[in-house]
Amino acid sequence: MTEPDAGARFTEMYASCHEQVYAYAVSRAGRHLADDVVGETFLVAWRRLSTVPETPLPWLLVTARNVMHGRYRDEVRQASLAAELRAWAEEADADVADGVTERAAVLAALARLSENDRELLTLVAWQGLSNREAAHVVGCSVATFFVRLHRARKRLEAAMEDAPTTFDLKEFSR
């Protein structure tokens, strides 16, 4: 069960990954739930340390994702995330630096996308995951991931134009 270097390995893994796991948790469930998600994720990681791969981040994000789905009802998580997305857009709006319009617009557009689209886009744009790693986190093949990411990008572009958007709403359900 426990290897001699388990504690050190775990501590190193925490030191190198906790910020990214937190960022993912915030982007998926809002900051009100993120601390809990991080704590629970690393507890699972400790208990299952011998099965954590050498590159732990994708595994940790999958676990965080499972923790979120197992621990909170969807409404609770989505309400917390909606508050988070509103806060980002408002803060970006209040910012007077250059490029704020675009910044606020892309965050507002992100908030209007489906949860699935938002997850793909933020995994790539904010978590810095490779397409392969991101596909692993959301549980699909790399080929499928490319297709889904392509569609999500198109929908984000469309959402950045002023509503009403031009893309086919039926695509949302795919």
Partner 1 sequence: MSRHRDVLRVLSEARPAQLDRGPRPIDLAAVTAFPQEAGDRANRRRLVLTAGLVPAVAAAAAVTVMVAQSPATPTPQPTLAQRPTPADTPTTARGLLLVAAEQVADDQTVGGRYWVTRIENGETRQVGPKARPYDVVLRMTEEKWLASSPKDKSWVFFQSLGAAPATAADKDAWRQDGFPAQWTEPAPKGMKPVVISAEGGPRLLRTPGGLSGRDVHVLGGQPITSAELSALPADSAALKAYLVKRYKDTGGLEGENDYLFNSADALVLDLPVTPEVRAVAYKLIAGLKGITTLGSVTDQHGRKGVAVAYTRRGDSGALAQTRLIIDPRTGHALAEESWSLGARDKLMSYTLVLGAAWSDDTPPAK
Site for partner 1 in 57-116 (CB under 8 A): 59, 62-63, 66-67, 70-71, 84, 87-88, 91-92, 99, 101-103, 105-107, 110
Distance of closest approach, residue 153 Cβ to partner 1, in angstroms: 6
Using the contact rule CB under 8 A, the part of the chain among 54-62, 74-82, 140-148, 166-174 near partner 1 is: 54-62
Asked if residue 32 lies in contact with residue 83, where contact means CB atoms within 8 angstroms, the answer is yes
Q: Closer CB to partner 1, residue 79 or residue 157?
A: 157
Contacts of 18 (CB under 8 A, 6+ apart): 38, 42
Binding mask 7-36 for partner 1 (x = CB under 8 A): xxxxxx-xx--xx-xxx-xxx---x--xx-
Asked if residue 56 lies in contact with residue 46, where contact means CB atoms within 8 angstroms, the answer is no
Does 123 interact with partner 1 (rule: CB under 8 A)?
no
Asked if residue 152 lies in contact with residue 115, where contact means CB atoms within 8 angstroms, the answer is no
Distance of closest approach, residue 120 Cβ to partner 1, in angstroms: 10
Instruction: Please state, in angstroms and as integers, the Cα–Cα distance from residue 10 to each residue in 4, 7, 28, 66, 108, following that order.
Output: 11, 5, 24, 20, 38
